[in-house]
Amino acid sequence: MIAPQPKNLEGLLSTEAVLDNGSKFAAFVAETLNPSLDIDWLRSVTSLPILVKGVLTAEDAIKAMEVGVAGIVDSNHGARQLDYSPATITVLEEVVRAVGGKIPVLIDGGVRHGTDIFKALALGAQAVMIGRPVLYGLAAKSFILLKIGRPVLYGLAAKGENGVRRVIEMLKDELEPTMALSGCLTVKDITRSHVRTEYDRFNCRL
Ligand SMILES: Cc1cc2nc3c(=O)[nH]c(=O)nc-3n(C[C@H](O)[C@H](O)[C@H](O)COP(=O)(O)O)c2cc1C
């Protein structure tokens, strides 16, 4: 056993890896990652809404809609799996356009500041998700360094539940002034016209 068996996948997923036959990493990936996406099976084991995570192209967004998922997460899994996968913010608009408002599009990957949340919402995401900041509070660290000049780590690893709460509060505390400075009273007021992208530059949309 090289990874703890998640309780919710008991009986469904094995994390046993073959250790004496070539690469341990390849064995682990082959054992734990299933490249097929069987939404029908997933529906048969849960009544929860199913969101597909890892969508980075219009083509995959359309496929996901065709199988009837409740939402899409524009994600590269924290850029930890495949080198050279695109930054999620750079493909968000492509995915949002393909979906055409039929189902929610969420995004994660690299959200560290309130301004990142603002940009994602402006480009059409319904919500953002965060991974590493709640684990170890990197965003909090750089924020505090800038604000008061001494390193303070927040996040689950450093401060437990309170650290996670603090990371979320800090993101909110950054988002609100970003909105105010951009003339947005509510989240609904954040629109595509509040950001400029490479697409705008090359297509002379400005
Ligand atoms: C330690 C760690 C383990 C992760 N494990 C998984 C996983 O098993 N499945 C998955 O879809 N994403 C996994 N992710 C990716 C996160 O769910 C999320 O997509 C990513 O961390 C978001 O990017 P961020 O860390 O820049 O916020 C993991 C991320 C980290 C840091």
Largest CA distance in the chain: 61
Residue (of 109, 170, 179, 120) closest to 145 by Cα position: 170
CATH number of residue 59's parent domain = 3.20.20.70
Residues 5-22: tens digit of each pLDDT: 566 666 665 555 555 566
Region of 113 on the Ramachandran plot (φ > 0 left; ψ -120 to 50 alpha; else beta): beta
Q: How far is the CA of 78 from the centre of ligand 1 (A)?
A: 5
Q: Domain span at residue 24? A: 1-35
12 and 74 together in one domain: no
Looking at the structure of the chain, the number of domains it has is 2
Enumerate the β-bridge partners of residue 63.
none
Is the minimum distance from the CB of 137 to ligand 1 under 6 angstroms?
A: no
Q: What is the pLDDT of residue 1?
A: 41
Q: How many helices (H) and strands (E) does the chain have?
A: 9, 4
Q: What is the pLDDT of residue 164?
A: 86
pLDDT of residue 204 exceeding 60, the answer is yes
Quote the pTM value.
0.80
Q: What is the DSSP letter of 72?
A: E
91 and 14 together in one domain: no
Is the minimum distance from the CB of 120 to ligand 1 under 6 angstroms?
A: no
CB atoms within 10 A of CB 94: 19
12 and 100 together in one domain: no
Query: Which residue has tokens 């219009």?
Result: 58
Burial of 172 (0-12, 13-18, 19+ CB in 10 A): exposed
28 and 88 together in one domain: no
Q: Which of 43, 53, 63, 77 is catalytic?
A: 77
Residues 59-92: tens digit of each pLDDT: 999 999 999 999 999 999 999 878 899 999 999 9
Q: How far is the CA of 205 from the centre of ligand 1 (A)?
A: 35
Is the minimum distance from the CB of 194 to ligand 1 under 6 angstroms?
A: no
Q: What is the pLDDT of residue 81?
A: 79
